[in-house]
Structure 1
């Protein structure tokens, strides 16, 4: 496990008003089981560090084993997060009422005293970031757009070093298609539609058969049919943020599609979107993919760990779809249902008119404090609202 040592802030507690607000809202959500804190404490061995399986922007995730032998992924909300209460409620509201084979299953929650905990079904193979892309430097420090936050926290990357798990082309293909189907469901079938806002490799969890599940709905937004876009404060993770959203705060489903395109490139290439240890010309995956596309050398981007045992034509097609999803002009990006059809070979990939991708420098696009998870939390960005302003929905 790698740890970047930083300063710690004084631990905060939830106010009585917050406790009442959360308890009332959770009580009104159907299909949400309430777990006693003692049961979760026992299941995780008093939240022992040996059971820690992940850590994100809003809490720590532990593996838990219940009395009946079933296992769960237990996400404990950090009281240090200024906006954590909202994300906690959002995550429950977004995922409790929907069901899809490529979305995580919310088993229940705990709202007791100062504890805010979510319980999910346990997925044996952790996240795509840790298994396929697993290395100590997967999550880079980035600028955190948040006012009045001056503290830094330690960054934990669990299971550091490269994973020993080998991903065949068939496994990668199925993961790409599964994630695409999950996003298409959120974007086009759920009413009102849902924009995830934080599609990235560490939010793609894998079960024992490497079937993918989209997780972490704390930043998700509802997107009604009558809206062209939502003007909102920027949140997400650098390297995956669509430029029009990161710079101007204009959120549409196309922002998720851009993020998916980056993940698609990561899966096929077997490398994360940014790697500062490489020569400058190779550090940014999206830029490198575009250069290889222009020189008709896309096959050189395919992960060599597969030993050449893959469908070369299909692998290059997937890379082209990734470039289609990350085009700089949002309206040129395909819908997620189109992406599913292209990945499955049901729709042709028009690769003759792929335009240049939107490339965003994290150093010129953002100002603020670094976040321990590599995330941009809701705050102020270029063209965005201040953290004290209300969200503006534009029709």
Structure 2
């Protein structure tokens, strides 16, 4: 007849404590187990998370684990967990073990071993997470990890400082909610590329907690589990906001001076260090009748002096090429050969 061990008080106690924090179970189980089983001595030896612990009851001093096996007889129950890797349990009774006792132990011990393995896995996972977080924190760059649903699962403190959010505020937050609205279509495309296994470096505007955009360069790499399944994206974030502001200001100034160059009423020409024409403005075209395509890349003196270059003009050209500021009156010639009296001023550009 099959014995129903679920009705045994000790089984109820064990299953109750197995659902709780394993460490609490280990500390309290020895005394409870001993009393319910009618044991006179009991030892629970654990090896979890690289640490060992002996929980014992009924001994006057800490027993020697190696000698406990030698004490085993018909009054004792002894079993090792996972071939001794996780430890063992030793129970000594005042009476011989009955068949009912043995059935009980055969049912309870696998559950206890699973609990110990679970605790070991929890400790190793927690340590792994701490190591990963420590790597994130000690890195000089700003790191993020978003899961397969592109929600933040890990961020370094550099990201917190960059965007103004606390760690708890960012964890679980969807990536797209952190992106400037105009850039979200582009980031959505990047998300699809990560799922397809592509690495990428791109620039995007994140939203600071206070609502203003922050330019960030993102180096994104897909992450896979041991079975090759996509698990998320590791991102290295570089703050390029100041660089972008400088670029925008430089572009603005460039556009301003280009417009000024085009619209100024005096004829202007830019030459390189070999005295070849780089650019002319509209006033130059109007005065000398040359279109830009006709003169770009040609020597300025060859274009405007029609082979009549004198030693004085050559001297002025040499002065200009030495980086000197010069001002002189001269005769120059239009495309049609018409002589034009000009006041020429030249300044070097660095």
Interval containing the TM-score (normalised by the shorter chain): under 0.3
The answer to which structure has the higher strand fraction is 2
The answer to which structure has the higher helix fraction is 2
More relative contact order, 1 or 2 (CA 8 Å, 6+ apart): 1
Give TM-score, length-normalised by structure 2.
0.20
Query: Is the radius of gyration larger for structure 1 or structure 2?
Result: 2
